[in-house]
Chains A and B, each alone.
Chain A
Amino acid sequence: DTGVSQNPRHKITKRGQNVTFRCDPISEHNRLYWYRQTLGQGPEFLTYFQNEAQLEKSRLLSDRFSAERPKGSFSTLEIQRTEQGDSAMYLCASSLEGGQTGGRGKQFFGPGTRLTVL
């Protein structure tokens, strides 16, 4: 399977703990995105990378959140000092920009990581 993969699929943690999620994009894709989805809502944009450069961060991404894509391949999203309001599905997506079949919004999503903060 060559789709976007995310680990772990589920994470339960206590308030105040740190958590880290991993995303492996489709191998030839140069853009990687993080979104957050709460119950009854569509996904909301958090941040994105073009290769290894993080080019935009949403206002939703507080100082407790940090994302990296060190070699332009996989990415990690870390949440420090988790709060109950961080409980959500964290989705990763990737796309190929500049290619013949990619671009203009054609983002492919992974299965997500469901975070529950107790």
Chain B
Amino acid sequence: TQLLEQSPQFLSIQEGENLTVYCNSSSVFSSLQWYRQEPGEGPVLLVTVVTGGEVKKLKRLTFQFGDARKDSSLHITAAQPGDTGLYLCAGTILSNDYKLSFGAGTTVTVRA
């Protein structure tokens, strides 16, 4: 059983559209990370959020950490083909702050 549930599992959109990926849990996290992974490569860290209600922006990407620190979302505005990839959320809990627990990922495909 995975600690973090991601939805949707797959997302295919046209270039220029917006998308949102969700990451939910019944557990409280001390930190939450979003990674993007290309086929055959390791995950690349996009952002870390640690405070409930925190919002971070990275160009066209907006990340939000839920007030209760149990959920997070990733919103991409005006998606481009270069945004295609597997998006993974991962969190740490206070008692195990060294261990990242990952969701299963959301595969995003942006069509030109």
Chain A residues with a Cβ under 8 A of chain B: 4, 6, 31, 33, 35, 40-45, 48, 50, 55-56, 91, 93, 97, 104-112, 114
Task: Name the A residues within 8 Å of B30 (CB-CB).
Answer: 104-105
Q: How large is the interface on B (under 10, 10 to 19, 20 to 34, 35 or more residues)?
A: 20 to 34
Q: Of residues 71 to 110 in B, which have CB atoms within 8 Å of A's CB atoms?
A: 88, 90-92, 97-105
Q: Is the CB of A105 within 8 A of B41?
A: no
Bound-complex Cα distance A112 to B86 (A): 15
Partner of B31, one of A44, A45, A104, A108: A104
Contact of A42 among B31, B41, B44, B104 (CB under 8 A): B104
Residues in chain B near residue A33, CB distance under 8 A: 98, 100
What are 26 A-to-B residue pairs whose CB atoms are below 8 Å? A31-B98, A33-B98, A35-B100, A40-B104, A41-B104, A42-B102, A43-B88, A43-B100, A43-B102, A45-B100, A50-B98, A55-B98, A104-B30, A104-B97, A105-B30, A105-B31, A105-B90, A105-B97, A106-B31, A106-B33, A106-B45, A107-B45, A109-B44, A110-B42, A111-B40, A114-B40
- B16 at interface by CB-CB < 8 Å: no
B residues apposed to A, CB below 8 Å: 2, 4, 30-33, 35, 40-45, 48, 50, 88, 90-92, 97-105
**A105-B31, A105-B90 as given contacts; A48 in contact with B98, CB under 8 Å:** yes
Interface SS, B side:
strand
Q: Separation in Å of the B88 CB from the closest CB of chain A?
A: 5
Closest residue of chain A to B88 (Cβ to Cβ) is A42
Set A42, A105, A106, A112: member contacting B2, Cβ < 8 A: A42
